[in-house]
Structure 1
Amino acid sequence: MSLPAPTSPDPADMRRILWARGMRAFGDGFAAILLPLHLSSLGFAPIAVGAISTAALLGSSLLALGLGAVGHRVRRRPALLAASILMVGSGFGFAVIDDFWPLLLIAFVGTLSPTGGDVGVFLPLEHTVLTQSVPAEQRTAAFARYSFVGSVIGAVGALAAGAVDWLAPVATPRMVTDTLFLLYGALGVASFMLYRGLSARAEAPGHALPAPLGPSRRRVYGLAALFALDSFGGGFVVNSLLALWLSERFGLDIATVGTIFFATSLCSAVSYFAAVPLAARFGLVNTMVFTHLPSSVFLILVAFAPDATFAFGLLVLRALLSQMDVPTRSSYVMAVVEPRERPAAASVTAVPRGLAAAVSPLISGWLMGLSPFGWPLILAGGLKITYDLLLLRAFSAVRPPEEAAVPAPKGGLRNTGSR
């Protein structure tokens, strides 16, 4: 049967989540850039820097996975408050501690993200609260705003890392990085205050505790496996490796590469809102697949680009389409499970993406060492196309309640809601 819409959604909860997302994105933006610089200034060898970065990614993934396993025993507001405290400790710890082992531990249990993206325990909890703060027909638009805020303000945060150079005449790099890590901790305090104001409607409907995966378990595991395949493909073209390939293939300097990424990031941010009317017209799964497919084709064509200008044009075209599945994917996961299962579902579908994306960069780097040709781009595009086709085949008929009135296509899975 179809899921009931959340009763009496509170728009104030959505505003609080968006503010918190923006502040955290700003902190993640500069922290990801400053982390290796800060650790190197402490005299750590590259292998130690890599170990702390890996600990941060692994710890965040395991924390999110743990939330999926035991999240039914805790309420969402207290869990977000606890996560904010971890954010405060992460920032203050990196600002005042210089020894390797304590920093490794802080990275593992804290919230710093070396990728600049939002990982860890915040994401599944905020997705759950955001879903219940708006009516079902506004859910995808809410996730588009959520993704837009994170993308744009995260880019601004990355620019803020330039303060190390801007303030060089009056402050040492160590003073600036310590100050910015303290700012990261202060953003955690501000997030704590925002989460304190969440209403009782942020919890599971009917005053019930969230539940582990139950009736939706098979569906969620299937989505998690497909999302992991997509992320495995995306790991071949993470920004750092794509920047290296562009520099070596076309002889571009760092400033030019940075301009390319800034332009493509803006295109991606704008595309989040274009996904909303498309999803309303064609459905969430169709929007995910039929915007993602051509973007993967553009990615493959970049490998054959004859010059930097042509490659830039293809990357822009890809950026205009490749991220439309971000808000639609989040909206879809929240829609096809029971409300009480949402924290677990968001965690289980998020963690494999992070773990899968951590493997492919090693293969991509190895391939780039063998040949200057864009084999990583071709592999990434091919894997993503495979993901799209499998997603369409398995879930084209598993539709959210608001799409239930539209006749289901023949074949595939029946739309049985989230029984």
Structure 2
Amino acid sequence: MNPTSIPYTWSGFKSLHNSTRRLISARFLRSIAQGALAVDFTLYLRARAWTAPEIGLLLMAAGLSGAVLSLFIGIASDQIGRRLFLLIYEAGLTLGTALLLINHSVWLLVLIAVLFGFGRGANGASGPFAPAEQAWLAQHIPSTIRGSVFSLNAALQFWGMGIGALLSAYLVHLLPGETGPHAFYPVFFLNLVIALINYLQIFTLKETPINHGSNPRTILKTDATTTKSTELTTIVENEDLLRKKENRALFLLIIVNSVNSLGVGLIAPLLPYWFSVRYGVGPEAIGPVYGLTFFLTGASSLLVGKLSQKVGLTKSIILPRLLGVATLIALPFMPTFTLAAILYIIRSIVNRGSMGARQAFSVGLVRDQRRGLASSLNSVSWNIPSAIGPAIGGWLLGMGTLFWPFLLASLLQFAYIIMFSTMMGKYEPQTHTSLP
């Protein structure tokens, strides 16, 4: 095993820890199911006569509940382990989706959608349990290749989302003679099957205990008269300084992430609905566009992973996003669906391609025993603003305003570029090497 090799080949991937490989595989499968829902869920709600503001409120509720749960789950996972939480997620998703297929209650739909984030296009993330998953994934990855491994993980997620998006165009035609909401049931069945497979994957996986180390404060209190008390006092002081540095970095990350996620949430979850209203297209047209987008974004993620090895995570995150802002503000002015789709694809390639690098950056701000906390704060700072975004965007779209959500989103994402560069650059983890 070579722990410093870039895992973009089969041999490089096999050199990763078994837990790392299995978690990446599970997330890839999950992203296929979520890719289908990313296209079809808002269209399914529209088929059930939901309005844009109602859809936006549902997506907001899903984001807010996920943010609250993820904070507690991430912190708890640092103490009792991460495997249990992923098993709970997959079991709950299996049961909840099965209930949706046999019970058409609006309140059951709302409950399951809120708990598991249906339609939010989470790129394979395990809902509010994602902080536990992300911390577990980072546990066995050396810092020198963390950016590359997380970028590979992101690329596979995007490709899975692409497969799901392509499937979304055909799943709605699987049931002969079915139209309206019932035509979308194969999409939910796909989610059920994949959740069951992932439950079995994680159930058979062993978790390495988290190394919390000894607590020097406890030793000082119980054995303060020993000759090592001075050394322990120094250790405690160094620990306090290190925690303060980590806490400050996490606080700034929360601020920066919140600006970005609000900009993304304003329009991204509602884009299938917007395409349908603006150009009169359905899953048959939207699904292939989303599929191609995710496939190309996956390739972009691999390129960003390689770029992070050469120039560092910060530059590999902020530079491509400038083009993303320009394409986003131009998107609503496109006269045809084809031109709008081209701009959407370009924006996704340059914007989402840095997702793995952003994840690697956040978990690299702290040590292993605090990565659940870091992942939780990263998730909360993303989910709360991005949850508010669809409610605002849905309200604006419901008023017939098809441009303003894009303008507001562009301004916020430009502000994110400036803030990330100036506020987070000095906290860059050592994840790159001087490659030729």
2:81 is aligned with 1:75: yes
Q: 1:75 to 1:366 in 2, by over 3 A?
A: closer
Whether the 8 Å contact between 1:113 and 1:119 is mirrored in structure 2 is no
Task: Confirm or deny: 8 A CA contact 2:86 2:126 kept in the other structure.
Answer: no
Q: Deviations over 1:295-350 (max 9, x none)?
A: 21332344566776665554444333112321111001111111111111111111
Tell whether 2:20 aligns with 1:24: no
**Counterpart of 1:195 in structure 2: which amino acid?**
I
Contact 1:293–1:388 (CA<8 Å) still a contact in 2? yes
- Give the drift of 1:53: 5.0
Give, as a single letter, the amino acid of the residue that structure 2 aligns with 1:28.
Answer: Q
What amino acid sits opposite 2:166 in the alignment? L
Relative to structure 1, the CA distance from residue 178 to residue 380 in structure 2 (aligned partners, 3 Å threshold; closer, same or farther) is closer
Shift in Å, 1:96: 2.6
Which of 137, 157, 173 does residue 144 from structure 2 map onto?
137
Aligned counterparts of 2:130 and 2:412: Cα–Cα separation in 1? 25
The change in CA–CA distance for 1:379 and 1:290 in structure 2 (over 3 A counts) is same
- Following TM superposition, by how much is the alpha carbon of 1:64 offset from its aligned partner in structure 2, in angstroms? 1.0
1:89 paired to 2:91: no
Q: Does 1:240 align with 2:270?
A: yes
Tell me whether 1:266 sits opposite 2:295 in the alignment: yes
- Structure 2 distance, partners of 1:54, 1:48, is 10
Separation in structure 1 between the aligned mates of residue 180 and residue 424 of structure 2, nearest angstrom = 51
Q: 1:120 aligns with which of 118, 127, 130?
A: 127
Cα contact 1:303–1:375 (8 A) shared by 2: no
The gaps in structure 1 that reach 5 residues or longer are 1-8, 407-419
Contact 1:90–1:107 (CA<8 Å) still a contact in 2?
A: no
Partner of 1:280: 309
Deviations for 1:217-265, whole angstroms, at most 9, x for unmatched residues?
22112112211100111223315347626963xx574455555444433
RMSD over aligned Cα, in angstroms?
3.7
Which structure carries more relative contact order (alpha carbon 8 Å, separation 6+)?
A: 2
Q: Is the 8 A contact 1:228 1:353 kept in 2?
A: yes
Matches of 2:83 and 2:405 in 1, distance apart? 42
Q: What is the rounded CA distance, in whole Å, between the counterparts of 2:137 and 2:335 in structure 1?
A: 44
TM-score by length of 2: 0.76
Q: CA deviation at 1:368?
A: 5.4
- Output the CA distance in 1 between the equivalents of 2:330 and 2:43: 34
Structure 2 residues without counterparts, runs of 5 or longer: 1-14, 216-241
Count of aligned residue pairs for this structure pair = 390
Equivalent position amino acid for 2:121 in 1: G
Q: In the alignment, what sits opposite 1:385?
A: 414
The code of the aligned residue for 1:325 comes to S
**Conserved in 2, the CA contact under 8 Å of 1:275 and 1:287?**
yes
- Give the distance between the partners of 1:367 and 1:107, measured in 2 at CA: 22
Q: Is the 8 A contact 1:87 1:112 kept in 2?
A: no
2:409 partner letter: A
Structure 1 residues 31 and 314: alpha-carbon distance in aligned structure 2, compared to 1, 3 A threshold: closer
CA change 1:107–1:263 in 2 (3 A) is closer
Letter paired with 2:293: T
- How big is each residue's C-alpha offset from its partner over 1:23-82, in whole Å with a ceiling of 9 and x where there is no partner? 2112223345555676788x7865887766554433322221221343333211122222
Q: 1:73 to 1:377 in 2, by over 3 A?
A: same
1: distance between equivalents of 2:28 and 2:93?
A: 14
- Cα distance in 2 for partners of 1:38, 1:317 equals 27
Q: Does 1:57 align with 2:76?
A: no
The answer on whether the counterparts of 2:162 and 2:290 sit within 8 Å (CA) in structure 1 is: no
Whole-angstrom CA distance in 1 between matches of 2:331 and 2:187: 37
Q: What residue in structure 2 maps to residue 396 of structure 1?
A: 425
In 2, the alpha carbon distance for the partners of 1:214 and 1:67 equals: 21
Q: What's the offset of the Cα at 1:181?
A: 3.4
SS in structure 1 at match of 2:320: helix
1:198 to 197, 200, 205: 205
1:410 maps to none
Question: Counterparts of 1:158-173 in structure 2 under 5 Å?
Answer: 158-169=165-176
Structure 2 residue identity aligned to 1:188 = A
Instruction: Pick one of 225, 231, 234 that aligns with 2:255.
Output: 225
**How far apart, CA to CA, are the structure 2 residues paired with 1:270 and 1:307?**
27
Change (3 A) 1:175 1:347: same
Call closer, same or farther: CA 1:360–1:340 in 2, change over 3 Å.
same
Larger mean Cα displacement after TM superposition, 395-404 or 231-240: 395-404
2:270 is matched by which residue type in structure 1? S
Per-residue displacement from partner, 1:331-375 (whole Å, max 9, x unpaired)? 011111111111111111112212212323344455557786744
Moved more, 52-61 or 86-95: 52-61
Q: Give 3-state SS (helix, strand or coil) of 2:116's partner.
A: coil
Question: Please, what TM-score do these two structures have when normalized by structure 1?
Answer: 0.79
Match of 2:72 among 27, 47, 66: 66
CA drift at 1:142: 1.4
Q: Deviations over 1:75-116 (max 9, x none)?
A: 1112222222222222222123333444444444x4252223
2 CA distance for matches of 1:228 and 1:405?
32
| % identical aligned pairs | 22
